[in-house]
Amino acid sequence: MSDTDEARTAVSLGAAGTSPAAGARARLIDHLCEAAELEHSLCLQYLYAAFSLKTRADEGGVDEVQVERVREWKGQLLLLSREEMLHLGLVLNLLAAVGGAPYLQRPSFPQPERYYPIGVVSALEPFGAKAIERFLRYEMPTALLGEVTPGHVGADGERMTVGMLYERVREAVTTIDEKELFIGSEYRQIDTAAVIDPEGVFEDAVATGYGVEPFPVTDRASALRAIDLIIEQGEGAEADSPQSHYGRLLRVRAEFEAERRAAADAGTVFEPARPTLSNPVLRGPVDGDGAVVITEPLTRAVAEVFNDGYALMVLMLLRFYGRTDDTPAQMRMLQEVVFFPLMTMFVRPLGEVLTELPAISGQDAATATAGAPFEFSRGLQLIPERAVAYQVFAERLAGLASAAARLTGRCDQTDAVSPALRKRVAFIAENVGLVARRFADRLNEGADRADA
């Protein structure tokens, strides 16, 4: 522990029971944990809707021109998802700064609107009018709250927006004494560009090209900067902005409705999304009604591998944001796994594959397709011991690679999976195997212990 950390601890302990920051800190951490849940959940909901969108005219319901429009919508949803990851990273930095632990828990899908005071259902749904309206409610500017129907209220009857939740965070940050509030170690602050490029040799566009670029929160000014960024990007922005999440979603809704009207006038049907299940699960719902169990055996196997990869990604993110004595080399190891292969070369492509596979036994994909369950297991907690954590990561990566390889074999043995999907599953498995071997090699070279 540094001299600064010891001094902060002494101040905190000396004020125990008398400091006005004590109760306020507890409330602030509670608000930040709720914000982390919302950002995590909304990120996955955007991903799910994006995965459901069709990519070819031969899927039906779209023509060659409409496919290009649908591709634009998919790009917007993926961008929104990446920005939610940025917001989540900033919230986790805020938590670390004020004495909280990394928080990546969230309720299972679906959740009723009474779960959060913003009064919005949390659900995995394919792209469509219903999903768009739900997203708009999440991103609604606080100034528009008076236009919300009476049914959209929290459990205690209070109506809120996401922006109002962050205003509660802002109030705590501005009213608690700065020296008493920011007691967290700066070591746990994540500056993505610094982790990627510690020597500062790349251009800014390269160093921040992840779509996930949290910056350190160490004082009131940086905390307010983080809060303002989240609000201004669309989490309840007061001023309507075309580039906010709300503004972009309004454009998507207008374009979607225009395509539907044009199709109706032409006597055709516009169906941009696959017949993907809402709230697919492998087991019965734990917290809410409305989940649908995937019963097709091969699809279940794909979904199991997907859930394993998602769980590993969360486990590694907990370590990334909850590091104790990890070296820069180890942090790069985590970043190179989480933000590259697992997010972009595993979660996204395998989630898309699931939307083209039949969900229910005895039915084909034209009836109902599956989707990424994003199921959350009880074992997703921070592993405090560094060496143990990296050993677990290596084991789980090896297990994921083996499971993906077996999945490739199963897909090759059935005509129910198209040649294109078989190739895609094989490519995913190949990438996971490569990542697992590289991680194990670096672990064996001593990157889990200290920098040479």
Span 376-403, pLDDT tens digits: 888 889 999 999 999 999 999 999 999 9
Rounded-to-integer distance, Cα 9 and Cα 351, Å: 45
**What pLDDT sits at residue 373?**
96
Pairing of strands 292-293, 280-281: parallel
**What pLDDT sits at residue 294?**
95
**What pLDDT sits at residue 221?**
96
**What pLDDT sits at residue 158?**
62
**What pLDDT sits at residue 203?**
47
Residue written as token pair 């039906």: 60
In this predicted structure, the answer to whether residue 218 has a pLDDT above a threshold of 70 is: yes
User: Quick one: pLDDT band at residue 119, thresholds 50, 70, 90?
Assistant: confident
Rounded-to-integer distance, Cα 191 and Cα 195, Å: 6
In this predicted structure, the answer to whether residue 39 has a pLDDT above a threshold of 80 is: yes
Q: How many CB atoms lie within 10 A of CB 424?
A: 18
User: Quick one: pLDDT band at residue 452, thresholds 50, 70, 90?
Assistant: very low
| Domains parsed from the chain with CATH numbers | 1-273 (1.20.1260.10), 276-452 (1.20.1260.10)
Mean pLDDT of 44-73: 96
Better-predicted residue by pLDDT, 209 or 256: 256
**What pLDDT sits at residue 451?**
44
In this predicted structure, the answer to whether residue 238 has a pLDDT above a threshold of 60 is: no
Mean pLDDT of 12-33: 73
Tokens at residue 335, please? 């970043």
pLDDT over 90 percentage in the chain: 61
**What pLDDT sits at residue 2?**
47
Contacts of residue 99, defined as CB under 8 A and 6 or more positions apart, other chains included, come to 25, 29, 183, 184
**What pLDDT sits at residue 191?**
85
User: Quick one: pLDDT band at residue 73, thresholds 50, 70, 90?
Assistant: very high
Mean pLDDT of 111-118: 76
**What pLDDT sits at residue 118?**
75
pLDDT tens digits along 306-332: 999 999 999 999 999 998 888 888 888
Q: Mean pLDDT across the chain, nearest whole number? A: 85
Q: How many CB atoms lie within 10 A of CB 28?
A: 24
Tokens at residue 403, please? 């499971």
User: Quick one: pLDDT band at residue 214, thresholds 50, 70, 90?
Assistant: confident
In this predicted structure, the answer to whether residue 274 has a pLDDT above a threshold of 90 is: yes
Rounded-to-integer distance, Cα 18 and Cα 38, Å: 33
**What pLDDT sits at residue 359?**
95
Least confident of 136-140, 207-211, 318-322, 334-338: 207-211
In this predicted structure, the answer to whether residue 210 has a pLDDT above a threshold of 70 is: no
pTM: predicted TM-score of the whole model, two decimal places: 0.89
**What pLDDT sits at residue 286?**
54
**What pLDDT sits at residue 287?**
56
In this predicted structure, the answer to whether residue 284 has a pLDDT above a threshold of 50 is: yes
In this predicted structure, the answer to whether residue 404 has a pLDDT above a threshold of 90 is: yes
**What pLDDT sits at residue 15?**
43
Tokens at residue 273, please? 């999304």
Rounded-to-integer distance, Cα 162 and Cα 154, Å: 12
Say if residues 355 and 51 touch (Cβ distance below 8 Å): yes
In this predicted structure, the answer to whether residue 3 has a pLDDT above a threshold of 60 is: no
Tokens at residue 398, please? 């090896």
Say if residues 271 and 259 touch (Cβ distance below 8 Å): no
One-letter amino acid for residue 380 of the chain? L
Tokens at residue 105, please? 């828990």
pLDDT tens digits along 125-158: 999 999 999 999 888 888 787 665 544 444 455 6
Better-predicted residue by pLDDT, 342 or 132: 132
Mean pLDDT of 68-91: 95
